[in-house]
Amino acid sequence: MIPNAYRSLHCNAVRPAHIGQTVTLCGWVNSVRDHHGVIFVDLRDREGITQVVFRPEENAEAASASHKLREEDVIQVVGAVSARLTGTENAISPRVKSRWCAAASSF
């Protein structure tokens, strides 16, 4: 897919080669989970699902705003791709098949 003004990748296109790169994703909020202030969002587009992480220590404003997200909200997220910690690849959300996530810096 050619990058456009709304996204640089589809949700299913995040790969190990993208680790450390900043990507732009957009889609529907599939689910939201709060784990002690860290918000995990399963972001869905027509191609798949990617987990997005909002960490208060990395961007307090985005993390605070992420508490208001609900299922089916449409968002655009900019963030760095990172590998999930070993052993947590599918433990956080069995619906998310990827081993990578995007740490949100803005949305």
Per the model's pLDDT, the better-predicted residue between 40 and 93 turns out to be 40
Residues 81, 18 contacting (CB under 8 angstroms): yes
The length of the chain in residues reads: 107
DSSP letter at 95? T
User: For residue 32, what are its two tokens?
Assistant: 């939201």
Domains of the chain: 11-87+95-106 (2.40.50.140)
Give the whole-angstrom CA distance, residue 2 versus residue 22.
16
74, two tokens = 């449409």
SS3 61: helix
Q: Please check the confidence at residue 100 and state whether its pLDDT lies above 60.
A: no
Q: H or E stretch including 82?
A: strand 74-83
Whole-model pTM: value is 0.81
Q: Assign 94 a pLDDT band (cuts: 50, 70, 90).
A: very low
73-82 per-position pLDDT tens digit: 999 999 888 8
Residues β-bridged to residue 33:
40
Across 71-97, average pLDDT: 73
**Run of H or E including 60:** helix 60-66
Which pLDDT tens digit goes with each residue over 20-64? 999 999 999 999 999 888 899 999 999 999 989 998 888 889 889
